[in-house]
Chains A and B, each alone.
Chain A
Amino acid sequence: MGNPLLEVENLTMQYTIRGGEVTAVENVSFSVSEGEALGIVGESGSGKSSMAISLMKLLPENARILGGKILLRGMDLAPLSEEEIRPYRGRRIAMVFQAAMNSLDPVYRTGDQIIEALQNHYQDMNHTAARARVAELFNLVDLDPALMDRYPHQLSGGMRQRAVIAMALACNPDIIIADEPTTALDVIVQDTILRKLKQLQERDKLGMIYISHDIAVVCEVSQRIAIMYAGRIMEIAGTKDLFVQPRHPYTCSLLNAFPSIIGPKRQLLSLPGESPDLLHPPSGCRFHPRCPRVLDLCRREAPPDTDYGNGHLAACYHPMGTDS
């Protein structure tokens, strides 16, 4: 594994909404090395997307970073102002959004949107050079360069997602954050996009944070996986370790709830209850109201991380594999 590229330490992010404050990301720490892909799995409301926009500092007005560090090659992005972050955002750390979700402006030609991004970062790049770069990027993601003069609605969902990936790669970033990039796509298109993304990431030794609700997708693209629940990382481990020996009961329930087309057909186990309301989060461990292995202690205090070796951490007082 290469040098640490991105180190996140105790990141906490909060929204102010009517009715109070919602801590969407709480005390989250992890790191991504050069050429490493970290998967982040979580359900809706787990804070995975809030974490992504915190890293990019694309915060809406009612959100702020309360504390923690976002170290990109040792340089802390967290305290930077909007002006100061600009040379980094898009250039060093780029984001692949879900193409279905308004990440392409419908009134501009697809290629022009990438040209705009390029010229923002490279002031001396002329239009011809920028177009050539876009054509090169389109080729990279297996899109016909002729499509750069089309409007987003003239492209299929898969093509739009490829264009969004091309845009993220435009300035040769060190790390890309992909937030559910294949969620709205059909399975065969999803597969080709995942393979392309993975191939480009490995070729350029990029760091990648791949965010998804789908543990199967994350399993295939990442070397390590972090499981988020209610704003916290419950467990983080190498992909194999996580699947072979999950420690956190929540990880276990996710794995048990996921159907597969491989192997014998098995009964899936559902998890009782609902995701917590973060305006009034549960005391102690956020997962305790739904946890099958809950102890008295879990209700009172949030468990600290336990180290199981090899970078395998889990925040649980009563982890799997210990007797009841």
Chain B
Amino acid sequence: MIQKDLVTVSGLKKYFPVEQGMFRQTRRFIHAVDDVTFSIPVGESLSLVGESGCGKTTTGKLLVKLHEPTGGSMQFDDGRESIDLAHLKRKAMRGFRRKAQMIFQDPYESLNPRMTVFDAIVEPLNVQNIGNWVERERRVAEMLALVDLTPPSSFLFRFPHELSGGQRQRVAIARALVVNPIFVVADEPTSMLDVSIRTGVMNLMLELGDRFNVSYLYITHDLAVARYMGRGLAVMYLGKIVEMGNTEEVLAHGLHPYTRAMLSAVPVPDPQVKRAAARIKGGITAPVNPPMRCRFYDRCPISDDYCLHNDHPPLEDKGAGHFTACYKV
């Protein structure tokens, strides 16, 4: 069976202008997402990891059209229709929103404090005009049961401030999944939750993803979480994907010096393991009009003159779908 790609992104770019001077001229741009290419097969999930400011959230927002891309193409194909996301008309947006949803990091901010749980979850159904009132009510109760907020009747008319962080995030998940999307961008949905609550939310997302054949683009800064949530893994650095492939393969045989630095910097919950220090210099900078060379050049432990004088290396297949963007590996 040939596996079809649900999302195909090619050469995606998003530049944000930096205003300066007395006339607010914009001569400089932050290259938040710069020539990013990847695809997500139907029913599979991709974890996107990187430090803060690497462009991972921007990538996620581009894919659900919360940002307009500066350039590149995004194709969405659920088997029934193929949608050109980069040039999606406003009119067609509503149809697309039925298929693609987003879950945000902070459930304290993403839920309207004046809306009850019922209002929040039924809203997408109202917007999409799905079902009549009786059906919508039934559907909301069903969603609450699915996200383990039981009995639903005790949660329906609560406000967000009456819920705990974990419960709020479950409401956000119910709201995203209520229209039966096939693709969900999840932007650090568990990073604000306690460990004992976090695992429950991650397991819930995996279980519902399996059951309803939802693909996630799971955005996180935590490699261990990324491993748990996605079969595929893409590592982002300053607007570029520097390494990508099967999650276990990338974790076991990370090739890019940045991936390797990250891997050796993750604390391990095992007192027997002693990690080697990460060989990496300095900290992350903002990609404002970045120079024509490898983005990682300044911090790279193995860079040389070739890296300095050539453009950012292309993402190359180093075997079995394991891609990396480095001249030195």
Contacts and interface: CB of A to CB of B under 8 A. Distances in A.
Interface of A: 43-44, 156, 158, 186-192, 194-195, 213-217, 219-220, 239-240, 243, 253-255, 257-263, 265, 268-272, 274-275, 290
A111 B284 CA distance: 24
The 4 closest A-B pairs by CB, nearest first: A270-B200, A191-B265, A259-B224, A43-B194
A215 B267 CA distance: 9
A156 B270 contact: no
B269 interface: yes
Interface stretch (B75-83, B134-142, B176-184, B272-280): B272-280
B4 to A, nearest CB: 26
A215 B195 contact: yes
Nearest to A267: B203
B283 interface: yes
A268 B196 contact: no
A189 B223 CA distance: 15
B224 to A, nearest CB: 4
B223 A261 contact: yes
Contacts of B212: none
Contact of A187 (B248, B251, B266): B266
A216 B275 CA distance: 12
Given A186-B221, A274-B197, 12 more contacts: A188-B261, A216-B268, A216-B269, A240-B271, A254-B195, A257-B195, A261-B223, A268-B202, A268-B203, A268-B228, A270-B196, A271-B199
A188 B278 CA distance: 7
A216 B225 CA distance: 13
A270 B271 contact: no
B268 A158 contact: no
A192 B225 CA distance: 21
A190 B283 contact: no
Interface string B238-274: 0000000000100100000000011111111111110
Nearest to A221: B267
B160 interface: no
B228 A259 contact: yes
Contacts of A156: 283
Given A216-B268, A260-B268, A189 B283 contact: yes
Nearest to A186: B51
Contacts of A265: 227-228, 248
A217 B262 CA distance: 15
Contacts of A190: 265, 267
Contact of A254 (B196, B221, B224, B264): B196
A191 B194 CA distance: 21
Nearest to B201: A270
B166 interface: yes
Q: Which of B195, B224, B277 has the most CB of A within 10 A?
A: B195
Nearest to B165: A44
27 contacts: A43-B196, A187-B266, A191-B277, A192-B278, A214-B267, A215-B195, A216-B268, A219-B269, A219-B271, A220-B268, A220-B275, A239-B271, A254-B196, A257-B196, A257-B198, A258-B224, A260-B268, A261-B251, A261-B266, A262-B270, A269-B199, A270-B203, A271-B196, A271-B199, A271-B200, A274-B164, A274-B166
Given A215-B195, A265-B227, A258 B269 contact: yes
Nearest to A264: B248
Contacts of B271: 219, 239-240, 243
A219 B275 CA distance: 12
A275 B194 contact: yes
A190 B164 CA distance: 28
Nearest to A184: B52
Given A156-B283, A259-B228, A271-B196, A195 B268 contact: no
Given A186-B221, A191-B277, A268 B199 contact: yes
A73 B199 CA distance: 41
A213 B194 CA distance: 8
A239 B269 CA distance: 10
A187 B195 contact: no
Contacts of B164: 274-275
Contacts of B221: 186-187
B219 to A, nearest CB: 14
B196 A261 contact: no
A156 B228 CA distance: 30
Contacts of B222: 187, 259
